[in-house]
Structure 1
Amino acid sequence: MKQWLKSGTPWIWLNGGAVAFCMIMVVGLIGLIAVRGFSHFWPADIAMFNLTQADGQQRTIIGTPVRSQIVPAAVARDSGEPVPESEELVTRHLLKLGNRDVYGQDFSWFLEIFMDEWHYPEDILAIERREWGNFYGQPVALLREGSVISTPTDTDFHEQLQSSVERSLTLFDQIRRLERGEIGRINASLERLRLQERGLAINPLPADEDARERERIAMERAQLDADYAVLRQELDVIYDSTRRDALRMVTAEGTQQDISLAAIVRVTAPNAMSVLQKVGQYFERLWEFLTDEPREANTEGGIFPAIFGTVTMVFVMSIIVTPFGILAAIYLREYAKQGTMTRIIRISVYNLAGVPSIVYGVFGLGFFVYFLGGNIDQLFYEAALPAPTFGTPGLFWASLTLALLTLPIVIVSTEEGLSRIPSTIRQGSLALGATKSETLWKVVVPLATPAMMTGLILAIARAAGEVAPLMLVGVVKLAPTLPVDATFPFIHLERKIMHLGFHIYDVGFQSPNVEAARPLVYATALVLVLLIVVLNLTAISIRNHLRERYRSAGD
């Protein structure tokens, strides 16, 4: 036994078991998140059953089963359910009823002992709406300008319905393109002219120049107003077209309701769909989740603005932190005199790596936003005051705060890489007649590039997952306008952004509809993990390429 312990074999097995245990936990966690999150997009069947109420009357319920649980009967009695005293445990089912504009809530619990047998009629439709969540019911008629054009008894009812829905979606896309494209550019130009006019009032020009400038502004504004009038007329025509069609539905209680197709995102009949059709619908919803904008207080729709904001912020942060971190490390390692002051600076850098991130957020808000941003507005955007331009949280300040947060990581990694370069390489370069600067930038720094990339990888991994400081310096609950668009200067660093980490926090803890938000928290968390993995793999591949390049050059 002693010989076996001295051989080191137990420690090898212990290390291997620890690695295997960690891998199982990581894979299990990611699997749990994936199952809980991405199963949300599967078009589940819609159940229909009769429920016996406390007064003995029956009520028809239509909804999608979410989950079931067994609870003590006392819990059900506390919620007002007339559970018999003989019952100790009861099973209850959570159903998504939809029809929030009718029932006032999306989800509700029902006790199994009061339910009849569940049925899955094929004529039940699930309607995804832009507001008020889903609507579940049975179709009555397809209306056009108030007149019935098709009923479910017609053989081509579903074809006409899908065709009308696709037409409404096309019109909605046209409206969005006009409002965010042409009309958005006109509004930006009008705002620019307004600021120019206010600038003339603040800093007046000579009389002749002032008159000519105001005349130019008036002519441009008149042209923009004329262009806007044309677009407004076109937009009104499209809006009138969207009100043409409607779908008349009947709820489980028999109440009829007309739903304008302009408010509909998708109409499906899950109970009548084949497995192959459900698979196609699943990937369509998943793609919508990744590429669309959020709606209904972030509990429906997509997360594309959050993905775009996260990636943009990480790229801007990387552009800022990389040169500053590398130059600071090169100075500390290669140029600074190694003494007490240098040691104090290094200790300070190490300590900065352990400072809570919220402290950086408070510093960013006070120094970057209020001090620097406020002074920039006073110097360059005086005409826009009191409305702040850079004196308010935005993309640039969020990226700068994260750059400050990750700066110690880059400095330490770069210093470690520089310290590993053998002194013989430096001496050989100097012996061949190279200056210290040439030795540093042409020999030492290229060999230390993989270590610099390692620091950048660690910085990206930390920055992409930070939430606390971003809440103070630029990330908001909803910012559908992206910081990159076709309006000059194309990249708008002053705009607020959405972030996947803050989106998870908002949906998970601030959502008014907890049950609807639950699967989106898991799905968004998995997207964030995958995004960090992709960013890290990209940086790792670049690092490996540089390592092989300089290794082969050294050979």
Structure 2
Amino acid sequence: MRRWIKSGSPWIWLTAGSVAVSLLALAGILLLLASQGMRYFWPSPVYQFTLNQPAAGAATVIGELYRQEAIPLQQLREAGVLLPDNPPATIDRYLIKIGNRELQQRDFITLLASDVQQKSAPKDLLVIERLNNGTAYGYLVGMLENGQPLVAENLAQALLRRIPENRTLANLAHRIQHQQMAELNEQFDALRLEERKLQLDGQFNARAEARIRAERIELERQFSQMTARRDSVLEDLSRDALLLRDMKGQVHTIALSDVREAWYPNAMTLGQKWRHWANQVKQFVTENPRASNTEGGVFPAIFGTVLMVILMSVMVMPLGVIAAVYLHEYAKNNWLTRLIRISVVNLAGVPSIVYGVFGLGFFVYLVGGSLDRLLYPEALPDPTFGTPGVLWAALTLALLTLPVVIVSTEEGLSRIPLSLRHGSLALGASKSETLWRIVLPMAAPGMMTGLILAVARAAGETAPLMLVGVVKSAPVLPVDGIFPYLHLERKFMHLSFQIYDMAFQSPNVEAARPLVYATALLLVIIVVGLNLAAMGIRHSLREKYRSLGI
């Protein structure tokens, strides 16, 4: 046994066991996130519960069976619940998502199995996903076209055919409102700033005034045309409506312009359910959020996360590599160098919120405010760069991850044998040429290791981003079709902040919980994807220089 311990085999097995446990833990986390998040997009069956006693003013309850759990009899008695004669030891409790939020004032209702007389799943139960007020459940009893009843042999098919047509019109109206008219508003604002700048510089003469007036008149003409076109599309969009009978037997009119999608889950085949699930996942990834981030998609957050990580990587790598090269190749081993190394190590342990406060005070207020006074005086007192934005968020995270890149790059430089440096110098190369052509390319795998660690940490940060640029809802993306196309001064959305917002700031936490899991899974997938890309580059560099023994 002693010989076996001295051989080092126990440490090999211990290391292998630790790796196996880590992989199992990661697989468990991914499985949990996938199982809890992806079920949100599956078309769950909708049930109609007939009650022994009316609950919430209705003798029937319609909705999805969200959760079912067994409650001990003693707990129900302590809660003062009236129970039937000779009840079992446990009674099932149903948490049912009833929808129709604007009517019921809540999304969920709780029922005991002892209160349910009959549970059925009629095939004609309709689920409607709306742009406002969440989901609606009920029976389709009619449709209206221009306020008149629509006569059709099959109302269900007519409804499912009209919804895509209305969504096309809605997308057109959204594109006119939020893209084309927004671009015109940007041009109006740019023209206003140009006029004010000319006034501040004393160059606002009659010729400049006439030119600006002519451009403003042309923009107003284009804006009027777009407004008329948008109003026409909205008028066409508001013609149709459907009549839905809810669980209380009341018939409600729902405008088709408010309907995003509708389906009959109890009548769907397995193939139809999988197609519906895939379509819902696609919309979740590609659409904008709605209802305080508790519904809709997460595309702006995905875009903001990836853009911020790319900008952070572009900023932190040159700084980290230059600092590491100086410390390892040029700096002498004296008290100043040792102090710098100690400071770098200590900076790696500073809480991220401290970096956020520093970024807010230094980057936003000092640097951004100075840029506004020097370059954008015509826009003051409205800040341009003196406000949180994607640029300052990327710089803040670059500082946060800088120690990791410095340490990893130094380790990569230390692995380069001195014989290679001496051989290069002996052949007549200068120290800078040796560094640029020999040392840095061979230390690239170590640099990529630092980048991997930096990306893994930066992508999941939340606290500093709340101070330097991330917001709950960004009206526009940092990238658009207006020059200079990439607007680094704009605020942005981030997946980690959206997870926090949905989990703790949502007005309906229970309804948003599956989206929290789905967004967390998406964040993990993005981080893993970015890391795999960096690891692939590192592996190719290692293979390139393997023949040199590095």
What TM-score range do you get, normalising by the shorter chain?
A: over 0.9
Q: Deviations over 1:45-76 (max 9, x none)?
A: 00001123379996110000011122345655
The 5-angstrom pairing of residues 344-359 of structure 1 reads 344-359=339-354
Partner of 1:331: 326
Worse-matched range after superposition: 266-275 or 23-32: 23-32
Letter in 1 for 2:124: D
Partner of 1:128: 129
Q: Alpha carbons of 1:378 and 1:419: their partners in 2 closer, same or farther (altered >3 Å)?
A: same
Q: Deviations over 1:150-187 (max 9, x none)?
A: 36xx2x32222122111110001111111233212111
How much has 1:552 moved relative to structure 2? 4.9
Worse-matched range after superposition: 351-360 or 413-422: 413-422
Partner of 1:283: 278
Partner of residue 246 from structure 1, selected from 230, 237, 241 = 241
- 2: CA distance, partners of 1:54 / 1:127: 25
The 5-angstrom pairing of residues 17-416 of structure 1 reads 17-53=17-53, 59-73=59-73, 76=76, 81-83=81-83, 89-150=90-151, 154=153, 156-205=154-203, 210-416=205-411
Name the SS for the 1:249 alignment partner.
strand
How much has 1:460 moved relative to structure 2? 0.7
Query: Contact 2:404 / 2:450 at 8 angstroms: preserved in 1?
Result: yes
Q: Deviations over 1:487-543 (max 9, x none)?
A: 111001011111011111000011011111111111111111110000001011111
- 2: CA distance, partners of 1:97 / 1:112: 17
Letter in 2 for 1:394: G
Letter in 1 for 2:198: L
Query: Contact 1:52 / 1:58 at 8 angstroms: preserved in 2?
Result: no
Letter in 1 for 2:37: G
How much has 1:80 moved relative to structure 2? 6.8
Q: Alpha carbons of 1:424 and 1:12: their partners in 2 closer, same or farther (altered >3 Å)?
A: closer
How much has 1:81 moved relative to structure 2? 4.3
Task: Give the TM-score normalised by the residue count of structure 1.
Answer: 0.95
- 2: CA distance, partners of 1:233 / 1:128: 29
Q: Alpha carbons of 1:496 and 1:77: their partners in 2 closer, same or farther (altered >3 Å)?
A: farther
Worse-matched range after superposition: 87-96 or 282-291: 87-96
Query: Contact 1:126 / 1:267 at 8 angstroms: preserved in 2?
Result: yes
Query: Contact 2:140 / 2:156 at 8 angstroms: preserved in 1?
Result: no
Query: Contact 2:324 / 2:407 at 8 angstroms: preserved in 1?
Result: yes
Q: Alpha carbons of 1:5 and 1:330: their partners in 2 closer, same or farther (altered >3 Å)?
A: closer
Letter in 2 for 1:110: L
Letter in 2 for 1:488: F
Please, which runs of 5 or more residues in structure 1 have no aligned partner? none
Query: Contact 1:293 / 1:480 at 8 angstroms: preserved in 2?
Result: no
Worse-matched range after superposition: 172-181 or 337-346: 172-181
- 2: CA distance, partners of 1:477 / 1:77: 44
Letter in 1 for 2:92: T
Q: Alpha carbons of 1:304 and 1:386: their partners in 2 closer, same or farther (altered >3 Å)?
A: same
Q: Deviations over 1:72-130 (max 9, x none)?
A: 45655677743469756432110110000110011121111101221000111000000
- 1: CA distance, partners of 2:373 / 2:252: 55
Task: Give the TM-score normalised by the residue count of structure 2.
Answer: 0.96
Q: Alpha carbons of 1:225 and 1:351: their partners in 2 closer, same or farther (altered >3 Å)?
A: same
Partner of residue 456 from structure 1, selected from 451, 454, 470 = 451
Query: Contact 1:54 / 1:82 at 8 angstroms: preserved in 2?
Result: no
- 1: CA distance, partners of 2:220 / 2:185: 10
- 2: CA distance, partners of 1:86 / 1:274: 41
Query: Contact 2:242 / 2:256 at 8 angstroms: preserved in 1?
Result: yes
Partner of 1:526: 521
- 1: CA distance, partners of 2:491 / 2:134: 27
Q: Deviations over 1:171-207 (max 9, x none)?
A: 01111111233212111110011112222333322xx
Identity of aligned residues (%): 51
- 1: CA distance, partners of 2:231 / 2:470: 34
Residue 434 of structure 2 is aligned to residue 439 of structure 1: yes
Q: How many residues were matched structurally?
A: 549
Query: Contact 2:58 / 2:247 at 8 angstroms: preserved in 1?
Result: no
Partner of 1:491: 486
How much has 1:214 moved relative to structure 2? 1.4
- 1: CA distance, partners of 2:55 / 2:65: 25
Name the SS for the 2:150 alignment partner.
strand
Name the SS for the 2:545 alignment partner.
helix
- 2: CA distance, partners of 1:42 / 1:141: 27
Letter in 1 for 2:108: F
How much has 1:374 moved relative to structure 2? 1.1
Query: Contact 1:393 / 1:496 at 8 angstroms: preserved in 2?
Result: yes
